[in-house]
Structure 1
């Protein structure tokens, strides 16, 4: 009797040991990748800072698909344009889900970034994006935003040393005006700084290495608050985010109920409540998501663009010569001018390629098994698009970096904004904002290095989800007084 009882007691331990034997190890059907370790998988091998550099080294070693094990979770890194096209674009229904980020959802509540393709809130928000962020709709928002573009030039002419806060104010106000119908300055001269603070907290929550693996080990969510720093961080993030969004949202909703119309995005959504099948909380979450997707990425890109002008003065001079030839100094640039500025278009694309704002993009999750060549990406795997690796492929030599014989599939101007069913819905808006600001800045100012140490090396960038340069110094001089006068008149007219 005792041996049978002992066997019954040992059996669960034997089964558990057998299952743990392969925990963290790579399955044979996955793409290749670096050697794994028992239990941890590849966790010790992934750098906490600028991980895309190591991902790109692995791409060179293992190929266009690389698999990693994060504990027992599978991650597949996509490193080529053809793989992006086949996995994220053509099989978008299977590759379009998102990881369930518990920390951010705890702080944010309704937030459709992490909704899956088959969920009602995702379908409603995408329907709204496709209805009110079309090219025609975006053009209708331009008059509201023109005042912010012109004000940035005026701010830079007045206090160029504060160029980064000016860029942050402009980008924040563009999105607040688009969504809520009023500029951010209506809510206080430092209101945009509150948003910047909220995004610092948001980025801390999004850092996977700063917190326990709550998504993989849900039991950790029940650790008492005194031993769980992340719980206090969630509450602080919620407080700061509320300090920015609450009064703006309340003001908008009061104006909407009173019939005070500005033509904003949210007005158009609320005019069709049954069509989009979203609750008011879900609509509020959608607006926060659009803010978060549009503000900081634009700020980071414009900083990269200015740094490129400073570090490469010959490129700046050539772009300004083209602008002077097409636009001259007797009128301000307009969006219609952009298609006639091929060199400036090339500079903008090159900054996207050389220093992509989201070098690792936002991860996807496989909703079902995905097949690519001889590999299987199993359901539930995370899928990461290595934008940095794709853009820094050694075979990239021409417009999309195509060397003779290389495959250009999957490479396009919108790749920095994602791929497949989860491509950023505001990509066209972002591209227009970048185009208008790039024209205005080059038309109005000359940017010069004052330190003799100008560099776009990665050591001059701070770690984080977004690739943004550390604070840098540069001299910003008005090219001539008439240009600033013209922009000042434009600003006064637009804000009247």
Structure 2
């Protein structure tokens, strides 16, 4: 071949490749604006490795309520404005009901973990089943066990206040486990409880955006040997733990069914009626989503509630007066009281506003192109709903980083006068659209009951500085990393409001024994002995 044409061909190919490479990572003009990109990588190097919600919120203030990031040539869309939540995730929810592909998650769950599963027939079958079982009307049947568990939580916090972190987690897990598997957890030190809590801590860390290599963006990373890829060992370990735990619950319920010892758990019905067929992986994924989501949602809220109350004696004083006027000290609160306690409602709403449990939610995947406010949301885009950014917008909230329950007495959504509330919701912490949390009604009942209980029963105080005699400052921003965030352990003082309150807690816990006993048949002898001794 003539050397001149060869040179032309080679040069042309090099030019084409160079042009293609310069386009990779570049933001198309049709996308929402965002931070400057670099060739090929886009915004990859600036993607936060921890606390992504804080960086997303900072970028939202700079680039607007909808902005984009480029991960190579993969667009990430971040929504921090309720207008866009309403328009894209709710009104056009079918276009973003999918989840992004995740090699890490699929390695652990085989693709059938309900929270992260793709928008498929399996997902629709499992979700429809849970929607019926956990509807607002259906969860009324679980109120007695939830209230009994909430009473034990009061007792635990009264007798060992220094253990409130473990005890709030135990509450969330025990309610979820009782409803799903028919077995409660009277102690956070039981073998199954400890295994579950250890697993969920590792799982949450694995899921933190930016915490692991971008395997889905650079697929060749899948083939790195395990000795150089820490994530492979972590995935294998989490999968082993989940299989052991969740298969154990299935075996336990199968034994009850075979021996006519059913106690009405959801899992018994799933197995006996073959609501998910014989798909053991889907059953295991449904168990995991229910238990992990239920435990996290409630326990993280309770920890934040205690932190915020400890920081605000003024809010406690107002709530104590309201509760004393409406309920008094001769009985514990019941769910029906919540409608008559507007300040307690305001406290709960403000805790959920200032610290949503999953600050950027679980990402969505666009399966159909949409145009929002002139911006194109292309097929394959990963869409984040930045709950933290929405709920900390200074254009919508006065002093958004401060704990001010009174804002919810002035307006339904706690917003400034004049803010358009037609597109807002009070439950962004549960997500939105077709992926909204299926257990939200059960979680709401638990959060309402415990908010009333804590304010009825206790004074929460900051420790005193021995040098000055004044309360030490409380850091309400000291939160852990993870897809779900929690206050880091903090010191406080938890005291019963009076001997009358303390005596009634003991009395009500003893009275709850018949409710507990129905769900204690699989306890070890040590656990059963401990459960029977509570309150005595």
Whether 1:445 aligns to 2:471 is: no
Kindly state the Cα deviation for residue 480 of structure 1 after the two structures are TM-superposed. Answer: 2.0
Distance 1:416 1:490 in 2: 32
Give how far 1:243 is off.
Answer: 4.7
Secondary structure of the residue that 1:240 maps to in structure 2?
Answer: helix
Q: CA deviation at 1:281?
A: 2.6
Task: Sort the Cα spacing of 1:45 and 1:281 in 2 relative to 1 into closer, same or farther, 3 A.
Answer: closer
Is 1:238 equivalent to 2:256 in the alignment? Answer: no
Bigger drift between 360-369 and 460-469 goes to 460-469
Structure-1-length-normalised TM-score? 0.94
**What CA distance in whole angstroms lies between the structure 2 residues aligned with 1:230 and 1:191?**
25
1:156 and 2:166 matched: no
Distance 1:407 1:278 in 2: 49
> How well do the aligned residues superpose, as a CA RMSD in angstroms?
2.1
Match among 112, 115, 130 for residue 113 of structure 1 = 115
Q: Which deviates the most, 308-317 or 69-78? A: 69-78
State the 1:464 CA deviation. Answer: 1.9
Contact kept? 2:158, 2:496, Cα under 8 Å: yes
Instruction: Mark the CA change 1:23 to 1:396 in structure 2 (over 3 Å): closer, same or farther.
Output: same
Aligned residue number for residue 481 of structure 2: 463
Aligned to 2:503: 485
Secondary structure at the counterpart of residue 17 of structure 1: helix
| Partner of residue 408 from structure 1, selected from 421, 432, 438 | 421
- Kept in 2: contact 1:176–1:183 (CA 8 A): yes
Aligned partner of 2:180 in structure 1 is 179
Alignment of 1:188-337 (within 5 A): 189-273=190-274, 279-337=279-337
Pair 1:186–1:63, CA change in 2 (3 A): closer
CA-to-partner distance for each residue in 1:121-180, whole Å, 9 max, x for gaps? 111111112210111210112223332111111111211111111111111111110100
Supply the distance in 1 between the matched residues of 2:412 and 2:13 (Cα, whole angstroms).
Answer: 60
C-alpha distance in 1 between matches for 2:436 and 2:313: 34
* Mapped contact 1:124–1:277 kept (Cα < 8 A): no
Quote the offset at 1:23 in angstroms.
Answer: 0.7
Shift of 1:267: 2.5
User: Is the 8 Å Cα contact of residues 69 and 75 (structure 1) preserved in structure 2?
Assistant: yes
Q: In the alignment, which residue of structure 2 is the partner of 1:89?
A: 90
May I ask how many residue pairs the two structures share in their alignment?
493
Change (3 A) 1:401 1:441: closer
Residue-by-residue CA offset, 1:27-54 (whole Å, 9 max, x unaligned): 0100111111112211233332322222
Query: What is the rounded CA distance, in whole Å, between the counterparts of 1:464 and 1:188 in structure 2?
Result: 24
Q: 2:521 matched to which residue of 1?
A: none
SS at match of 2:463: coil
Question: C-alpha offsets along residues 362-409 of structure 1, whole Å, 9 cap, x if unaligned?
Answer: 111111101112111001101111111111111224432433443213
TM-score (norm 2): 0.87
Q: CA deviation at 1:12?
A: 5.0
Q: Deviations over 1:438-485 (max 9, x none)?
A: 111111111111143333442x22222222111001111111233233
Aligned residue for 1:131?
132
How far 1:7 moved relative to its partner? 5.4
Gaps of 5+ in 1: none
Report if the CA contact (8 A) 2:462-2:492 is conserved. Answer: yes
Give the Cα–Cα distance (whole angstroms) in 1 for the partners of residues 277 and 11 of structure 2.
54
Deviation at 1:217, TM superposition (A): 2.2
Alpha-carbon distance between aligned partners in 1 of 2:60 and 2:179, rounded to the nearest angstrom:
40
Deviation per CA, 1:94-136: give whole Å up to 9, x if none: 011111221122122331223232x111111111122101112
Post-superposition shift, 1:209?
2.5
Question: 1:77 touches 1:383 (CA, 8 Å); kept in 2?
Answer: yes
Alignment of 1:72 with 2:53, yes or no, is no
Query: Structure 2: how far apart are the matches of 1:123 and 1:272?
Result: 17
Match of 1:420 in 2: 433
1:138/1:429 contact within 8 Å kept: yes
Contact (CA 8 Å) 2:170, 2:187: kept in 1 or not?
no
Query: 2:146 maps to what in 1?
Result: 145
- The 8 Å contact of residues 89 and 421 in structure 1, kept in 2 or not, is answered as yes
Instruction: Compute the displacement of 1:11 (Å).
Output: 5.5
Whole-Å separation in 1 of the counterparts to 2:499 and 2:16: 79
CA contact (8 A) 1:185 1:191 kept: no
Question: Does structure 2 conserve the Cα–Cα contact (< 8 Å) formed by 1:153 and 1:484?
Answer: no
Is 2:435 the counterpart of 1:433? Answer: no
Cα contact 1:120–1:277 (8 A) shared by 2: no
Of stretches 10-19 and 357-366 in structure 1, the one that deviates more from structure 2 is: 10-19
How far the C-alpha of 1:348 sits from its partner, in A, is 0.5
- Report deviation, 1:202: 0.4
Q: Which moved more, 1:313-322 or 1:391-400?
A: 391-400
Would you identify which runs of 4 or more consecutive aligned residues in structure 1 move more than 6 Å?
A: none
Distance apart, 1:294 and its partner CA: 1.3
Distance 1:178 1:422 in 2: 21
SS of the residue corresponding to residue 331 of structure 2 reads coil
Q: CA deviation at 1:186?
A: 8.7
User: CA shift at 1:257, angstroms?
Assistant: 3.1
1:246, distance to aligned residue in structure 2 (A)? 3.8
Q: How has the CA–CA distance of structure 1 residues 15 and 113 changed in structure 2, closer, same or farther, with 3 Å as cutoff?
A: farther
Secondary structure, aligned partner of 1:308: helix
Deviates most, 253-262 or 472-481 = 253-262
- List per-residue Cα deviations over 1:59-112 (Å, max 9, x = no partner): 222222111112221011111111110010000000111112211221223312
Residue 278 of structure 1 deviates from its aligned partner by 6.7
